[in-house]
Amino acid sequence: MSTLFHGSALCAVDKDGSVDVPAFVAEALGPDSASIELFVGKHEIDSCLIGYDRTHLRTLSDRTERRRLADEDAGQDGAAHYRRSRRTFGIVEKLAPEKDERLHIPAAMRHLGKIERLALFIGTGDSFEIWNPDLAMESADEQFRDLAAFRMRTYRGRAGRKLPRKAAR
């Protein structure tokens, strides 16, 4: 990966889960993006998905192990560790690249992230998030809510069409 994921974009999602690769994601992946494997899973805390490239798996493994050791030091049983491990490594699928700089978000991941007709991509450094924009506008983070609302207004104006009723709030 040439840079970190930084930026945001609102993208239309086709019925089959295909979506244009946001410019900030393409930039982070660099010119060899066709050979980079991307993964997507359910975010640990928020109501969104988290995406990353294969190199990030080692970071996730290290973080999971540090948390396991901290839990053990605190006298906790292993249940939280195994839930975290399943979510981090088992409830994950590949973001399949398609022709013309598009990605396919698998159906199970769209279900878990409540992704429907629109997806709000947000860079978070070594990963990126994929939000249902309606859920993003309900976030406790005021600046994030404002950004989501701005992206929705901009998309509506650019698309020259009405958004789906649920997303048009």
Question: 110 pLDDT band (50/70/90 cuts)?
Answer: very high
Length of the chain as a residue count: 169
**159 vs 2, residue with greater confidence:** 159
Q: What pLDDT sits at residue 29?
A: 82
Q: What pLDDT sits at residue 161?
A: 55
CA proximity to 139, closest of 120, 155, 158: 120
The tens digit of pLDDT for each residue in 113-151 reads 999 999 999 999 999 999 999 999 999 999 999 999 999
The tens digit of pLDDT for each residue in 30-60 reads 876 666 789 999 998 999 999 999 888 899 9
Question: 166 pLDDT band (50/70/90 cuts)?
Answer: very low
Rounded distance, CA 131 to CA 148, Å? 9
Cβ neighbours around 90 below 10 Å, total: 8
- Once rounded to an integer, what is the mean pLDDT over residues 108-113? 97
Rounded distance, CA 63 to CA 61, Å? 5
**96 vs 153, residue with greater confidence:** 153
Domains of the chain, first to last: 8-63+93-159 (3.40.1550.20)
Cβ neighbours around 27 below 10 Å, total: 16
154: left (phi over 0), alpha (psi -120 to 50) or beta: alpha
